[in-house]
A and B are shown apart, each in its own frame.
Chain A
Amino acid sequence: MKTKHIIAGSLLLALTLAVGFFSGREFLSMRQDDEIFPSSGLTAKKMLSDYFPALKDTAGDTEVFIFDSAAKGGNLLIVGGTHPNEPAGTMTAILLAETIRAAQGKAVIIPWANASGFTHSDPQEGSPQRFFLETPAGRRWFRLGSRVTNPVHQWPDPTIYVNPMGQKLAGIEARNLNRAYPGKATGYLTEKVAFAVMALIQKEGIELGIDLHESAPEYPVINAIVFHENASELAAIAQMELQAEGFEFRLEASPPNLRGLTHREWGDAAGIKAVLLETPNASHGRLKGRPTISLIVDGKDKYYEQAARLGRLFVPYGPDGIPLKLRVARHLAGVRAILASFNELEPDKAIELADMPSPADVQAKGLGPFLK
């Protein structure tokens, strides 16, 4: 029959539209932002676009939470969500924004630095779109995004990405916020976000910047403080303090020829003391088993356990896994130690944050009880 293939074509087109509709609905669900309930210590809520208006009404714009004290002191920037698939970074930033009060100086918190990256998942990683935590007010969800900006918002990728510092990288890195510093006002969306963060650093008079990350357990820079050379003493003192508390941290100097990263360009271009913290996250590693919600929250994985026994990892990985609460506790301990070290080195610019949950409590009880 002549019309047979037309009928088949119509049916298949209908099937295509149905698949597109149902999968599309799930993809679009990621565009709904997570909720945050800042503590009463919040003194101002701004948008990143307030520092760089070209970002307004783009997917790169994101919330900035400012906790200012009346007392004279230094200014701190805490960034989470540079990589939206590293949940301990984001969760630590959210936890701080929902609990702290500035007792001296000022703290600026950006929980979802690459906001666009939170609106999709990395293809072929099989990641869940969100995970859940029990809080006193009930169950809350948080998105697990992709390492890079959503291609829908920044498209196409160049074949080779030459970043603002002239470093050549694989094309996809054009969407990696932590390769885009110090940013470019007329560049890609991701470069504009980096540019806006640099503008914020200048406008808010930031003196100390902490970028919160996670890395795969097979990656050498892990459980680490990565520091710009202008923060080497700061990092060393912090490490000793952490060791005394029972948290092992490696010290990693920011390699001078690795360009576009926070710990390099915040220090070079803005002259602030820049550090980056890493905790081990199995859910974005290459050896992971099923990428379930439990892998994110409880962090148990039999293949990582096996890899640890074979000596392939840079962190111990036992049957208890490395749960989110431990990773967030490590970040909190890191932030606290770096602040203490900063205050010791620069007493006239001291920054004091009150009501910050203690790392030991978070490790014991989980994050939930401290969130709203």
Chain B
Amino acid sequence: MRILYHLIVLYMTIQLVWYLFREKNFWKQASLVLVLVLFLLRLFLIE
């Protein structure tokens, strides 16, 4: 189960980073940062 969730978070992190570089509106990019931090910290099992 843990591995499954790890994969889900990994997939979404990749998607988020991809989206960060695809989005042209700066504020939308900036909003994404708030979410991406969480995914990264969970991906590396820090928090």
Contacts and interface: CB of A to CB of B under 8 A. Distances in A.
Interface range, B side: 20 to 34
Contacts of A5: 21, 23-26, 29
B30 interface: yes
Contacts of B26: 5, 8
A9 B21 contact: yes
B12 to A, nearest CB: 14
A8 B46 CA distance: 26
Chain A interface size, as a band, is 10 to 19
A123 to B, nearest CB: 9
A16 B37 contact: yes
A12 B29 contact: yes
Contacts of A24: 41, 44, 46-47
B10 interface: no
B41 A156 contact: no
A156 B4 CA distance: 10
Contact of B20 (A12, A27, A28, A152): A12
Interface in A3-52: 5-6, 8-9, 12-13, 15-17, 19-20, 23-24, 27-28
22 contacts: A5-B23, A5-B24, A5-B25, A6-B21, A8-B26, A9-B21, A9-B23, A12-B29, A12-B33, A13-B17, A13-B36, A19-B33, A20-B40, A20-B46, A24-B47, A27-B41, A28-B46, A152-B42, A152-B45, A152-B47, A155-B5, A156-B1
Interface of B: 1-2, 5, 17, 20-21, 23-26, 29-30, 32-33, 36-37, 40-42, 44-47
